[in-house]
Amino acid sequence: MSSPRIISFRIEPDRVAELDAIAKSLDRDRSHLLNEAVESYLDQQRRFAAMIKDGLRASKNGATIDDRELGDRIASWSKKMSAAEKKPARVEKKARSRS
């Protein structure tokens, strides 16, 4: 593995303060959080690029849906999300110890 490189970029002071506050609360340094953020961003972009590639491949193979079906799918996801939000959080009870 190659050694880490130092880079610099401009960022708003309030974001630096927020970043530093989070770093302090996690007992980490700013660099650690920025590395985590960059890795998360890169992972998200890799997944997105793979989804686009899969979609283009499916389209070339004729596996497409019309706008009505797409709307129905999105509506069903929305209903599932709404139902999940309405469910109360499940709290597990601790078993009582018998002495």
pLDDT digits (tens, 9 = 90+) for 5-42: 999 999 999 999 999 999 999 999 999 999 999 999 99
Q: Has residue 52 been placed in a domain?
A: yes
Domain presence at residue 17: yes
Does residue 1 form part of some domain?
Answer: no
First to last CA, the chain: 55
In a domain, 18, yes or no: yes
Count the domains in the chain.
1
- 90 occurs within a structural domain: no
Residue 93 within a domain: no
What digits encode the pLDDT tens for the residues 73-94?
A: 899 988 877 877 776 666 555 5
Inside any domain, residue 4: no
Contacts of 73 (CB under 8 A, 6+ apart): 65
* 35-74 pLDDT tens trace: 999 999 999 999 999 999 999 999 999 998 899 999 998 9
pTM for the whole structure: 0.62
Range of the domain at 39: 13-83
Euclidean distance between CA atoms 32 and 12, whole angstroms: 19
Dihedral-angle region of residue 27 (phi above 0 means left; psi in -120 to 50 means alpha; beta otherwise): left
Helix ranges, the chain (H): 13-25, 30-60, 67-86
